């Protein structure tokens, strides 16, 4: 397998500039995204475009989100060093790897066994020991590990999923794309307070749909 292009100094500067231009200004998030090489998560024909601010196809009909959106989602989560985070939709593993730089513990779930296997290989190569990768139906979360301080969903639901909201601790934050179709979606930040849920609309986005059940791959 051809080795991925590595981020050199000039490419890193361009990458970080693109993130800032999209509104990613949190210093810890930028440092994490500088440290985690996106090129390691993009395979095959599109490897040469790993550092462009574009979503790219990956296996199982899924995509790796564009870095600008990954940065905005991570920034909105406001992950703290002691936090336990759940990611629904491992995909390439890129988002989870970035979260691993910010949180105490990250659990990431995907319905596609192949994606979990490939992501786990990269995590092990990077020695990301605070990441747990699970094959499962993420729409139901991980009740055994709840509650979570932060939850991020990398597929679009019609509404923020009830089972996931139930697994978010009071004071916790969930970031999820919400929309009735693949053309009209909004990235939503949900904060769980003592008195209920607070919603904030962040940006228009396009994500693959959140699907129940395990993938056939």
CA 113 vs CA 1, 5, 109, 144: distances in Å: 21, 26, 10, 20
Phi, psi of 100 (to 5 degrees): -65, -20
Give the C-alpha separation, 84 to 169, whole Å. 10
Give the C-alpha separation, 84 to 107, whole Å. 8
Q: Angle between the 9-21 and 27-35 helix axes, to the nearest 10 degrees?
A: 140
| Catalytic status, residue 65 | yes
Residue by residue, DSSP assigns 83-150 as -EEEEE--TTSHHHHHHHTTSSEEEEEES-HHHHHHHHHHHHHTT-TTEEEEES-GGG--GGG--EEE
Q: Which of 21, 65, 92, 186 is catalytic?
A: 65
Which residues are tagged catalytic?
65
């Amino acid at each position: 397998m051809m080795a991925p292009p590595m981020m050199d100094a000039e490419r890193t500067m361009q990458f970080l500039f693109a993130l800032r231009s999209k509104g990613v200004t949190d210093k810890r998030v930028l440092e994490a995204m500088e440290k985690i090489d996106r090129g390691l998560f993009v395979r095959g024909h599109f490897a040469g475009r790993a550092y462009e601010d574009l979503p790219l196809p990956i296996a199982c009909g899924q995509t790796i989100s564009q870095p600008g959106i990954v940065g905005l989602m991570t920034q909105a989560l406001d992950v703290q060093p002691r936090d336990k985070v759940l990611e629904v939709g491992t995909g390439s593993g890129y988002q989870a790897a970035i979260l691993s730089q910010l949180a105490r513990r990250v659990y990431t779930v995907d319905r596609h066994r192949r994606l979990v296997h490939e992501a786990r290989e990269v995590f092990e190569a990077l020695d990301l020991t605070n990441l747990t990768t699970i094959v499962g139906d993420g729409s139901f979360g991980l009740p055994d590990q709840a509650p979570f301080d932060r939850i991020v969903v990398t597929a679009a639901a019609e509404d923020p999923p009830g089972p996931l909201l139930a697994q978010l601790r009071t004071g916790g934050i969930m970031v999820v794309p919400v929309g009735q179709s693949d053309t009209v979606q909004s990235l939503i930040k949900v904060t769980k307070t003592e008195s209920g849920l607070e919603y904030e609309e962040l940006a228009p986005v396009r994500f693959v749909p959140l699907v129940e059940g395990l993938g056939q791959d």
